[in-house]
Amino acid sequence: MKKLLLGLFAALGALAATGIAAAAAIYYLGLIDVAADAPHSPLVYDLIEGARERAIARSSSDIKPPGDLANPERVRRGAGNYAAMCADCHLTPGVANSEIRLGLYPTPPDLTRVAAAGQSADTVAARQFWIIRHGIKASGMPAWSKGGMDDASIWDLTAFLGQLPALSAEQYLNLVAISDGHAHHSAMMGDPAAVAAQPHDDKPGAKPHKH
Ligand code: HEC
């Protein structure tokens, strides 16, 4: 019996050592394909997605959305920031795709479509708030709080995302037109009016690009 157990442990040890050696070889020989145009295998993709969703669900479980998320003022304020900072990656009503979205991996979700069914509005909002605030590692999704966006402005964006799937292209453009453009309070960037005046807002001088 003792011999049998020892044999079993030895076999398991050899198996683990082989696994570690194989992983080390893959790592040192540079065999992991990091190209954004080479998708993960379905198994790896599912594992990463599962780990991401579990982590976000855990981290956002204590977040309580403010009671006035449907307030049109919040939605109006969020619209300008969405148009300035998110639309290229996450699309707008009537826009089927963008160059940056086509090239990114993972593909940024189309936020003009309704979020996953089966979750309460509060859970969806808390999840979106957490993602906008902290970003998602090794995807293209930035942690907007690091760029200086404060929580109130992130809730405004969350409020806007709640309405976005119901907007027509015209309604979207009208909302952006009456919003304050790219304006959010931030400790780092200071006065929102000054931020709004920064050249990257409306990209003055930008020529239409051709290729
Ligand atoms: C450079 C591209 C890029 C920009 C700009 C960007 N995002 Fe993202 N975003 C992503 C990617 C990529 C993901 C998916 C990450 C993943 O699957 O791991 C994502 C995911 C999200 C999600 C989760 C969607 C879901 O239901 O799974 C939300 C919400 C979101 N972004 C909101 C925003 C907001 C709001 C802004 C603007 C303030 C923004 N993003 C700007 C690339 C971007």
CA distance 2 to 24: 33
Provide the residue type at 204 as one letter.
P
Evaluate: CB of 89 within 6 angstroms of ligand 1: yes
Question: Across the chain, what does the average pLDDT equal?
Answer: 90
Q: What angle do CA 201, 147, 163 make, to 5 degrees?
A: 65
Q: How many residues does the chain have?
A: 211
38 pLDDT above the threshold of 70: yes
Alpha-carbon dihedral 47, 122, 157, 79, rounded to 10 degrees: 120
Q: Report the pLDDT averaged over residues 174-193.
A: 74
Measure 7 CA to ligand 1 centroid, in angstroms: 51
Measure 196 CA to ligand 1 centroid, in angstroms: 22
Q: Report the pLDDT averaged over residues 113-140.
A: 92
Evaluate: CB of 79 within 6 angstroms of ligand 1: no
45 pLDDT above the threshold of 90: yes
Q: What angle do CA 99, 100, 103 make, to 5 degrees?
A: 90
Evaluate: CB of 108 within 6 angstroms of ligand 1: yes
Evaluate: CB of 128 within 6 angstroms of ligand 1: yes
190 pLDDT above the threshold of 60: no
Beta-carbon contacts of residue 177 (< 8 Å; ≥ 6 apart): none
Closest listed residue to residue 127, CA positions, set 18, 53, 28 = 53
189 pLDDT above the threshold of 90: no
Structure-token pair, residue 83: 């148009």
pLDDT (tens digit, 9 = 90+) per residue, 59-106?
Answer: 999 999 999 999 999 999 999 999 999 999 999 999 999 999 999 999
Evaluate: CB of 154 within 6 angstroms of ligand 1: no
* pLDDT score recorded for residue 201: 47
